[in-house]
């Protein structure tokens, strides 16, 4: 399956996908200069900075992309883009949705006293961090966790959940 990945930052999830699906990630797009673009470069994957939705669709289609994966992509996508890629556009979010959509999920989970936290892979719909859930991975919140330690442990399971869910998607 030809996969396109959209990023805005470090790209550790992108790295997990590059490692798990060698040859299947055909293009990486960032909406801003990002460390993750170097990861694509190192893996010899076409990569570019594109900041508007229509140009992103053109670039993804030019690469023959069948599935678009958001991996730390921070810009909200417009209706046209989301409709165009309906059910071919997925995201990973660092909480057990529908709890804690949006930003600062780890701090908010701690503040709420959550005993379980984790991450979710889901189809993208126009409303942020909504959409049918493909898979989730729950981890315990430890008594001495702070948002950095919790974020690091969630990120580790994100790197396993995302490839697993994409495999599951490609079976369906
Ligand atoms: C991850 O926690 C992801 O769930 C969220 O943004 C973070 C991106 O991290 N959407 P990275 O760029 O993949 O390292």
Q: Is 71 in the pocket of ligand 1 (CB under 6 A)?
A: yes
Output the residue whose Cα is nearest ligand 1's atom 10. 72
Indicate the helix (H) or strand (E) that contains 27: strand 25-30
Q: Residue 96 has which token pair?
A: 């057990």
Amino acid 42: pLDDT: 98
Task: Name the nearest CA neighbour of 155 among 137, 168, 167, 133.
Answer: 137
Amino acid 139: pLDDT: 98
**HSE on the CB side for 31, CA within 13 Å?**
17
Q: How much is the mean pLDDT over the chain?
A: 97
Say if CB 49 and CB 9 are below 8 A apart: no
Amino acid 168: pLDDT: 87
Distance CA 157, CA 71 (A): 14
Q: Is 9 in the pocket of ligand 1 (CB under 6 A)?
A: yes
Amino acid 171: pLDDT: 59
Question: For the chain, which residues score pLDDT lower than 70?
Answer: 171-172
How confident is the model over 70-102, as pLDDT tens digits? 999 999 999 999 999 999 999 999 999 999 999
Distance between Cα 29 and ligand 1 center (Å): 15
Amino acid 170: pLDDT: 73
Output the residue whose Cα is nearest ligand 1's atom 3. 72
Distance CA 55, CA 5 (A): 14
Using most ligand atoms within 8 A of CB, pick from 31, 153, 158, 161 the residue to mutate for ligand 1: 158
Please say if 117 is a catalytic residue: no
Q: Is 155 in the pocket of ligand 1 (CB under 6 A)?
A: yes
Distance CA 29, CA 123 (A): 19
Using most ligand atoms within 8 A of CB, pick from 9, 13, 101, 165 the residue to mutate for ligand 1: 13
Amino acid 93: pLDDT: 98
């Amino acid at each position: 399956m030809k996969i396109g990945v959209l990023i805005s930052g470090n790209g550790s999830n992108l790295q997990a996908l590059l490692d798990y699906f060698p040859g299947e990630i055909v293009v990486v797009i960032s909406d801003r200069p990002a460390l993750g673009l170097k990861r694509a470069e190192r893996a010899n994957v076409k990569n570019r900075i594109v900041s508007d939705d229509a140009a992103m669709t053109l670039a993804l289609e030019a690469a023959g992309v069948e599935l678009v994966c958001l991996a730390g992509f921070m810009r909200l996508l417009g209706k046209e883009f989301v409709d165009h890629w309906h059910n071919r556009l997925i995201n990973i979010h660092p909480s057990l949705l529908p709890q804690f959509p949006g930003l600062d999920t780890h701090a908010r989970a701690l503040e709420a006293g959550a005993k379980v936290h984790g991450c979710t892979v889901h189809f993208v719909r126009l409303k942020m961090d909504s959409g049918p859930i493909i898979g989730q991975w729950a981890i315990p919140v430890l008594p001495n966790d702070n948002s950095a330690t919790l974020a690091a442990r969630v990120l580790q399971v994100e790197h396993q959940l995302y490839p697993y869910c994409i495999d599951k998607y490609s079976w369906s």
